[in-house]
Structures are given as structure tokens and as C-alpha cells.
Amino acid sequence: MKVKVIGAGLAGSEAAWQLANRGIEVELYEMRPAKKSPAHHTEYFAELVCSNSLRGDRLENAVGLLKEELRRVGSLIMECAEATRVEAGGCLAVDRVGFARMVTEKVRNHPNITVIEQEITEVPEGPVIVASGPLTSDALSDAIGRYFGQTDYLHFFDAAAPLVTMESIDMSKAWWQSRYDRGNADYINCAMNREQYEAFHKELIAAQAAEVHGFEDNNVFEGCMPVEVMARRGFETLRYGPLKPVGLTDPNTGKEPYAVVQLRQDNAEKTIFNLVGFQTHLKFGEQKRVFSMIPGLENAEFVRYGVMHRNTFLQSPKLLDKYYADRRNPLVAFAGQMTGVEGYVESTASGYLAAVAMAAKVQGRELPDFPKTTAIGALGMYISDESVVNFQPMNINFSIIAPLEKRIRKKAEKNLAIANRSLAVIDDMIAKGI
């Protein structure tokens, strides 16, 4: 029996790979390159849009645990991320183009996957996994609304940070250092004194935003809050967020700065850097004017300005089960950010779980039981929890994973214990055959 997968983003590529590796024929539908969304720039699958970073890689971080679970269960996305990894302190970051190219080549060359370059405008009959992403085309978005019998399934807005060239950064003012000296000094740091910060903050909150239909500050997912929206929340907000100076020392003064803007490499060659935490929807000219006030970036060359996108997601607790499948029809499943998992790694996990569950269904096998003690299972249970009030997109975090039976006071030790418990469960599932 063939399974259709709609969309070749991170969730769709992972889903297609897992199904194909279980001996199932897959038809993978992708509308690019014939039709692109506003956020895509290449013809490659699994293109990273908002940031090159797949976030923290330590087991004491929930996303680090989720990545390790995915590695152990044979994730395509994690395999390609490791192969195209670039240094970023304690984070997993990749050469974006190299990563997407590798995912594309592996998927296209799998003997059980047929790629069909075609826009899908109706939800197909099952078995199917719809992983069309937060930038789902208007036609398919409307079709999903009709499929569920509602046209107002939710949306929010997501913002991308600008990119600058390394050679245009004034390194006489900036310096290399990772916070608390973790990693190999993988970030470029631009310090501000109080006077510089005050001037920057004043111009940032007064800067003119680009028009985005229907945009409201309170519709933005907290994890991708535009920097200008964050600044409006208070004078000190940025200093406790992306501009926090703790763990850093300005070599020009020998002291902790008043505020710090960090830049992270965006490609393997270290020629392009991302302004960390500077997601924005300011007009391009305003971005150039205001961000050039940052010491070291006075003459920065912007190779991409920040942009704002509409992200669409389902009322999943009412519609989907813990395997991301339609409660009414288990052979129609959804995956990726449209289900309410937020982040690249979380999208990958949803594609993985939706696929292994779909494979079990079409092959007549028992469904895999990822418990709430695992990050993969906890995400599936979060998006399907009907008791959740005001459902919103969620990054993986330890608060949605089952707590330990014993109390551990120190947070890092507690998180590591939860991670080790989870990985023991995953290893046991692998040994029994997922």
C-alpha cells in the first residue's frame, strides 16, 4: 500500500524516510520549485528559514534530549545535521544549504520514494501524512479547513532575523566568545554601554514596521518574538533576553558590558552571520538604519533582512490523537508546525512519530508506544491533550515530560536524570523493535 506525504520540509522529509525505510512505497508531493512560499529561496527539501540553529545540544536542555532520542531512532534530519554541522558553542547549527542539499539527495535517491512536484489543493484520502508546514498554500489551507469542517483553524506570525557578512563586521569593536566560555568562542559579540543601549532602544521602538495583514503583537509566538515588539515591553526587556550581557567579558574594558548583541555563523565558511534573537518585521530601510547603530555593525552588509511570515496551525487537541492522526480517520495524519509543535527539531519528531505510527497501521502491526517519559511521546501527548486551555504552539520543554518520582533540587541534575530515564526507555524500545 502506498502512503502519500504532502510537503518536503523537515517533518515531511523525515516522515517519507521513515516510511520508506520500513518497506512502504511513498509518494512525496512538493509544490516547489514550480511554486515557492515567500520564505523559501532554494529548490531543496528541509530548507531552514528562521535560523540556522537547531538549538541546544546538552541533555540538560529538553531540545538536546529530543535530538538525542531522534539520533538513536535513526532520524534522517539528525543524520544530515550532524554531517553538515558548524561550530556554535553548545548548540547544533548547520550549513543551511549543505544540510538541505543532503536531505534532498537522500530522499530523492531512496528507491521507495517517488517525488512528485505538484501543489496539492485537497486533503487526499488516506493513508496520507499532511506536512505542508506553517506556510501552507492558501488553497491547501482552505482545504484543510473544509476537511475538518472549520475555516478558522488558528494562525500566528513568525519572524526571521537578518544576516550580515563577516567581512563587514568591525572586529576592532567586536570579539569572539561563547557565553560562560562554553564551546570554542563561536559567537561574535558586539557590546553596548548604557548610552549606546538607550539610543538603540529609543530608535528600535520608534522604527517603522512593514505592513503584515492581520498582525498583532499578541499573536506572535513567544519563542520568535520580533525584537522591536520585545523592546516595547520595557527598557530592560532586551537586556534580560537576546542582549543579556551575563557570561561575557568585553576585552576592550575587561568588564561585563551593559548589553551585548551576539552573532552566530550561518554557513560552514563563516562568511555570513545571523543576529541572534533579532527576528523582526521592520521595514528593510529601518533595519539597516537601526541595526547599524550596534557597535561593530556600523558598516554591516545585510545579505538578508528580517521578514515576517504567517504561520498556520490546527486546534490539534480537538482534532488529532497522540500519533498526530485525525481522531475520526487514523489513516489521515498531520505533522510539523501546523500541529502546534514549534521548532525544527520538534517538527522532525512529529514527522517521525506520525510516520512510524502510519507504517504500523498499514502493515497491521501494533502501534509504537512512546510514553510521556520520552520527549517524542510528550510532544504527541501535548498536541492531543484536550484539557489544554488556549492551545498555542509549544517547544519541547521538561514541563510537558513526566516528572521524576523522586525530588532532585538542582535543576540541571533533575533535567539530566529525566533525560537519562527517557533514553533508557528509547533504548529498550529500539531493542524490542520500534
Which CATH number do you get for residue 278? Answer: 2.40.30
What mean pLDDT do residues 92-103 have? Answer: 89
The domain boundary residue, chosen from 275, 293, 309: 309
The domain boundary residue, chosen from 253, 279, 309: 309
What mean pLDDT do residues 366-386 have? Answer: 95
Most confident of 3-12, 143-152, 184-193, 275-284: 3-12
Label residue 77 by pLDDT band (50, 70, 90).
Answer: very high
Question: Do 137 and 172 share a domain, yes or no?
Answer: no
Under 8 Å between Cβ of 53 and 93 = yes
How many angstroms separate the CA atoms of 105 and 80, rounded?
11
Question: Do 342 and 259 share a domain, yes or no?
Answer: no
What mean pLDDT do residues 39-63 have? Answer: 76
Label residue 214 by pLDDT band (50, 70, 90).
Answer: very low
Which is higher by pLDDT, 37 or 291?
291
Q: Which of 2-6, 42-46, 147-151 has the lowest mean pLDDT?
A: 147-151
Question: Do 251 and 359 share a domain, yes or no?
Answer: no
Which is higher by pLDDT, 391 or 165?
165
What's the distance, CA 404 to chain centroid?
27
What confidence score (pLDDT) does residue 92 get? Answer: 78
How many angstroms separate the CA atoms of 12 and 32, rounded?
13
Question: Do 214 and 103 share a domain, yes or no?
Answer: no
How many angstroms separate the CA atoms of 55 and 45, rounded?
20
How many angstroms separate the CA atoms of 73 and 357, rounded?
14
Question: Do 171 and 305 share a domain, yes or no?
Answer: yes
CA distances from 238 to 143, 156, 205, 249 (A): 40, 22, 12, 18
Whose cell is 548610552? That residue is: 195
What mean pLDDT do residues 305-311 have? Answer: 76
Question: Do 113 and 147 share a domain, yes or no?
Answer: yes
Mean per-residue pLDDT over the chain, rounded? 89
Amino acid at 195: E
- pLDDT greater than 70 at residue 289: yes
Instruction: Give the number of domains in the chain.
Output: 2
In 3D, which of 297, 72, 89, 320 has the Cα closest to residue 191?
Answer: 297
Q: In the structure grid, which three cell numbers stand for residue 167, read together? A: 567581512
What is the pTM assigned to this prediction?
0.76
62's enclosing H/E stretch is: helix 62-72
pLDDT-above-70 percentage for the chain:
90
Question: Do 186 and 210 share a domain, yes or no?
Answer: yes
Question: Do 27 and 98 share a domain, yes or no?
Answer: yes
What mean pLDDT do residues 18-33 have? Answer: 93
Using only the alpha carbons of the chain, give its radius of gyration.
Answer: 22
Which is higher by pLDDT, 147 or 37?
147
Question: Do 150 and 170 share a domain, yes or no?
Answer: no
Q: Which residues pair with 311 in a beta bridge?
A: 156
DSSP secondary structure code for residue 5 in this structure: E
How many angstroms separate the CA atoms of 16 and 9, rounded?
10
Residue 212, domain extent: 163-309
What confidence score (pLDDT) does residue 222 get? Answer: 59
Question: Do 205 and 78 share a domain, yes or no?
Answer: no
- CB count within 10 Å of CB 372 equals 17
What confidence score (pLDDT) does residue 375 get? Answer: 98
Question: Do 40 and 52 share a domain, yes or no?
Answer: yes
Question: Do 145 and 174 share a domain, yes or no?
Answer: no
The domain boundary residue, chosen from 241, 276, 309: 309
CATH number of the domain at 353, please: 3.50.50.60
What confidence score (pLDDT) does residue 20 get? Answer: 98
- pLDDT greater than 90 at residue 89: no
How many angstroms separate the CA atoms of 358 and 18, rounded?
10
Which is higher by pLDDT, 405 or 234?
234
What's the distance, CA 420 to chain centroid?
24
